[in-house]
Structure formats: structure tokens, C-alpha cells
Amino acid sequence: MQISGYYLNIPGGGGDIDIPDYKGKVPGHIRQGVTRGEDQFRQRAEKAVNGGADLLKMIASGAVLAYGSTPGSPEMDPDEIEAVVSVGQEAGVRVTAHAHGAESIKQAILAGVNSIEHASLIDDEGIRLAKEKGVALSMDIYNGDYINTVGVIEEWPEEFLRKNRETTQIQRENFTKAHQAGS
């Protein structure tokens, strides 16, 4: 098992805790990885490694199960991604990027991540780069069915269900393309 601890992500991004109409206080330690800027991401990544993380996980693009986040949109900029990867490489720990969007996927691969989670909207260039750089694609193609079934039964927010509908089929098509390319 590899332990990442907190996500490294931007304020209001795909990994931030944002629950509309929640009246309670979100504990500060839950938001330790929420920051902005290259130096701040480097410091948060170092803190995670010093705290025992043997994997750094960043939220490079928007998420399906997050309020106000768009799966295909970049959230971290290339310098922020590179700062996290640099810390991981210096410490000898693996780095993964949660990235649905093609632009964020390519930025993360070029920065040197070990793996990409979801890769729903990966394009041909991203597939080629992943294969060329030996980056693992963790394309969880069952998630779409799970969210569509459980999310409907449990009445998850329509925003989450809509984003799931928008990404499920294209992710499966891209999974097939990546597999056929040997990625």
C-alpha cells in the first residue's frame, strides 16, 4: 500500500472540501494540501513526505465528484505540477496526478509523474506521451456505472451525475485507444 496523505490541490478545486449549505466547520487538517503557487505546492509536498507519505497525489484538473469543478479544465498550472513532481523525485516517492483533461494529463506527464488517475479526456498525444514516458494510466472505467447506479439510488447531486454522464463513454473509448496503442 502507498500512502499519500492529503491531496495537493487548489482552493475550490476538485480535491477541496466544499459542501454547499454546510453549517459546520471543516477541520483545518483536512485542507492541508490546499494551496496556490509553485513555492507553496513545493512546501506542502515536502510536508507530506516528511509526514510519512510515500506517494504524492495532486489534483491537476477538475473532478466529477466535486462542486463547481469541470473535469476537463486545468486547475494546477505547469509550474505547480513541476514543483510537486520535483519534491517527489528528490525524495524518491512516486507522484500521481488526478487528471481528466487532456491538457493537464500532458502537463503532468511532461513534468514526470509516474501515473495518471482517470485520464477520461486523454487525447492521442497524451496516449503517445504516456507510452513514451512509461506513465501508467489508471483509467477506472467501472466508476461510471457505479456512480450512475449508486449515485441515482442515493440521490447524489445532479451536478455529479451530469459530469459522470459527460465523461463515462468518452473515457471508455479513450481506454480502448490507449490499450490498443500499448499505453
Per-residue pLDDT of the chain (183 residues; tens, 9 = 90+): 888 889 999 998 888 876 666 677 777 777 888 999 999 999 999 999 999 999 999 999 999 999 989 999 999 999 999 999 999 999 999 999 999 999 999 999 999 999 999 999 999 999 999 999 999 999 999 999 999 999 999 999 999 999 999 999 999 999 999 999 999
CATH superfamily name and code, 28-180: Metal-dependent hydrolases (3.20.20.140)
Q: Dihedrals φ, ψ of 57, to 5°?
A: -120, 120
User: What is the structure's pLDDT at 54?
Assistant: 94
62: its cell numbers: 477538475
User: Do 95 and 56 touch, CB atoms closer than 8 A?
Assistant: yes
pLDDT at 89: 98
Q: What local confidence, expressed as pLDDT, does residue 15 receive?
A: 83
pLDDT in the model for residue 9? 95
pLDDT of residue 25: 75
User: H/E/C letters for each residue in 111-150?
Assistant: HCCCEEEECCCCCHHHHHHHHHHCCEEECCCCHHHHHHHH
Query: According to the model, what pLDDT value does residue 20 have?
Result: 66
* pLDDT of 117: 97
- Residue whose C-alpha cell is 442515493: 154
pTM: 0.94
Q: For the chain, what are the domain ranges?
A: 28-180
Contact assessment for residue 181 and residue 158, using Cβ atoms and an 8 Å cutoff: no
Per-residue confidence (pLDDT) for residue 5, from 0 to 100: 85
Closest among 138, 101, 97, 136 to 122, alpha carbons compared: 101
